[in-house]
Amino acid sequence: MVVRGLGVPGISQITANQKRKDYIMKDIRYAPIGVFDSGVGGLTVAREIMRQIPNEKIVYFGDTARVPYGSKSKETIIRFSRQIVHFLRTKDVKAVVIACNTASALALETLQPELDIPIIGVVAPGAKVAAETTRNGKIGVIATESTIESRLYTRVIQEHNPQAQVFGKPCPLFVPLVEEGWIKDPVTVEVASRYLEPLLATGIDTLVMGCTHYPLLRSVLREIMGEKVTLVNPAYETARELKCLLTREGIANDGQEVPEQQAGHRFYVSDAANKFRQFANTILPFGVDTTQLIHIEDY
């Protein structure tokens, strides 16, 4: 981990400390961003970060041994997320992005006060944009069971827009359908119609795709919801938010120095590294050479 502000200041030490601080600040700027998800879905967030902030290097962790998170309890998701943050810190990350909606909804609030580096999730950026986008104040959120139950999207949307009405709908079959590769399949259209009908009936004009897999179903969702409903992709908003945060904190990589060991992005998983690499190569704009397997429960 990169430590800021080491040492006890004294009059004779000011210059030395200033130098050290400069050095450390430089270090932090060139440190990578930790990004994690329950599996492969968070790669869509990583891709957005790479696109919007190309100077930054990413250390990605996918918890493929314990995926999915969407039906599991808050306590368990906090425990898993804490282990992952511990692991990412061993890679000297300067900030953490929770690229998983469920972990953002269930674990972020608990983990934030435990950390001395910035940590953001995907829920707040997506919720903020939805609150600003709606014209009639009616917003739909589709997500996993645990994300919907947490009511975090509702809470954040109403912080920005107290008059907004939020309609949540868990869509547990979407992730398995995407993973089966039935992206534009009639079965998927039928399932999506079933899930979305109650949302359509409420007259929403904005729909948050509150799970990293759902943007892959964008064309089916668009077909069912019609052209008048705005689809919000939290992955896009999160990359924007991260860019602002890095600049605000003075820790953005200015592209002047990329230490050799951080020349590329790095990928870690808790299971089936080869399978992950194949999937990553279909999502990311470059080939992933190696993916390293780790025992996440040891962290």
| DSSP 3-state of 141 | strand
| Closest approach of a second copy to the CB of residue 225, in Å | 19
For a second copy, the closer of residues 189 and 283 by Cβ is: 189
Site string for a second copy, 126-165 (x = CB under 8 A): ----------------------------------------
Token output for 285: 């704009």
The 255-284 contact track toward a second copy, x by CB under 8 A, reads ---------------xxx--x---------
Active site residue 100: yes
Count of residues binding a second copy (CB under 8 A)? 24
Distances (CA, A) of 160 to 104, 128, 261: 18, 6, 41
CB-CB neighbours of 19 under 10 Å: 10
Residue range at the interface with a second copy (CB under 8 A); choices 49-57, 100-108, 172-180, 207-215: 172-180
Please choose, out of 30-38, 189-197, 212-220, 226-234, the segment that lies near a second copy by the rule CB under 8 A: 189-197
Q: Is 17 in the site for a second copy (CB under 8 A)?
A: no
Exposure string of 142-162, with b = 16+ CB inside 10 Å and e = fewer, is bbbebbbbbebbbebbbeebe
Closest by CA position to 122, among listed 96, 153, 94, 100: 100
Contact 3, 117 (CB under 8 A): no
Q: How far apart are CA 211 and CA 233, in angstroms?
A: 9
- The answer to whether 86 contacts a second copy (rule: CB under 8 A) is no
Which residues in this chain contact a second copy in the complex, by CB under 8 A? 64-66, 71-73, 75-76, 172-173, 176-177, 179-180, 186-187, 190-191, 194, 270-272, 275, 297
Active-site residues, by number, are 100, 211
